Amino acid sequence: MADKMVSGASSPGARVRVGVVGASGYSGLELLRILAAHPQVELTLAAASHSEARPLPEVYPHLTGLPALALEVYSADACAERCDAVFVALPSGSSGAVAAELWARGLTVIDLSGDLRLPAALYERWYGKPAAPAEAQAAAVYGLTEWNREQVRAARLIANPGCYPTASLLALLPAVRAGLVRPGGTVVIDAKSGVSGAGRSTAAHLMFAEMAENFLPYKVGKHQHVPEIEQMLGEDAGPIVFTTQLLPTVRGIYASCYVPLADGVDEARVRDAYLARYEGEPFVRVLPPGEVPALKHVRGANMCQLGLVVDERTRTLMVFSAIDNLVKGAAGQAVQNFNVIFGFPEETALTAAALAP
Ligand SMILES: NC(=O)c1ccc[n+]([C@@H]2O[C@H](COP(=O)([O-])OP(=O)(O)OC[C@H]3O[C@@H](n4cnc5c(N)ncnc54)[C@H](OP(=O)(O)O)[C@@H]3O)[C@@H](O)[C@H]2O)c1
Q: Are strands 16-21 and 157-159 parallel, antiparallel or unpaired?
A: unpaired
For ligand 1, atom 39: residue with the closest CA: 24
Q: Which residues of the chain have pLDDT under 50?
A: 1-3
164-325 CATH: 3.30.360.10
Q: What is the pLDDT of residue 68?
A: 86
Q: Which residues are catalytic?
A: 163
Q: What is the pLDDT of residue 201?
A: 81
Which atom of ligand 1 is nearest the CA belonging to 24?
A: 43
Confirm or reject CATH 3.40.50.720 for domain 16-160+328-342, answering yes or no: yes
* CB contact at 8 A, 23 and 48: yes
For ligand 1, atom 37: residue with the closest CA: 48
Which spans in the chain are helix H?
Answer: 26-35, 56-59, 76-82, 95-104, 120-127, 134-139, 145-153, 163-177, 208-211, 225-233, 267-278, 332-342
For ligand 1, atom 27: residue with the closest CA: 90
Closest by CA position to 356, among listed 251, 282, 254, 285: 251
Taking the centre of ligand 1 as the mean of its atom positions, its distance from the CA of residue 98, in whole angstroms, is: 12
Strand, coil or helix: 68: coil
At residue 69's C-alpha, the angle toward residues 63 and 71, to 5°, is: 90
Taking the centre of ligand 1 as the mean of its atom positions, its distance from the CA of residue 27, in whole angstroms, is: 7
Which atom of ligand 1 is nearest the CA belonging to 73?
A: 33
Which atom of ligand 1 is nearest the CA belonging to 200?
A: 19
* CB contact at 8 A, 270 and 309: no
Asked if domains 16-160+328-342 and 164-325 share a fold, the reply is no
Q: What is the pLDDT of residue 202?
A: 80
Taking the centre of ligand 1 as the mean of its atom positions, its distance from the CA of residue 309, in whole angstroms, is: 36
For ligand 1, atom 21: residue with the closest CA: 25
- Distance, in Å, from the CA atom of 300 to the CA atom of 294, rounded to the nearest integer, reads 13
The domains of the chain are located at 16-160+328-342, 164-325
Rounded to two decimals, the pTM is: 0.96
For ligand 1, atom 45: residue with the closest CA: 113
Q: Which of 63, 74, 90 to mutate to test the pocket of ligand 1 (most atoms within 8 A of CB)?
A: 90
Taking the centre of ligand 1 as the mean of its atom positions, its distance from the CA of residue 298, in whole angstroms, is: 22
* CB contact at 8 A, 189 and 242: yes
Q: What is the pLDDT of residue 14?
A: 79
Strand, coil or helix: 115: coil
Q: How far is CA 146 from CA 166, 194, 238, 331, in A?
A: 10, 24, 22, 15
Taking the centre of ligand 1 as the mean of its atom positions, its distance from the CA of residue 21, in whole angstroms, is: 9
Within 6 A (CB) of ligand 1 lie 22-28, 48-50, 74, 89-92, 94-95, 112-114, 162-163, 196-197, 199-201, 325-326, 329-330
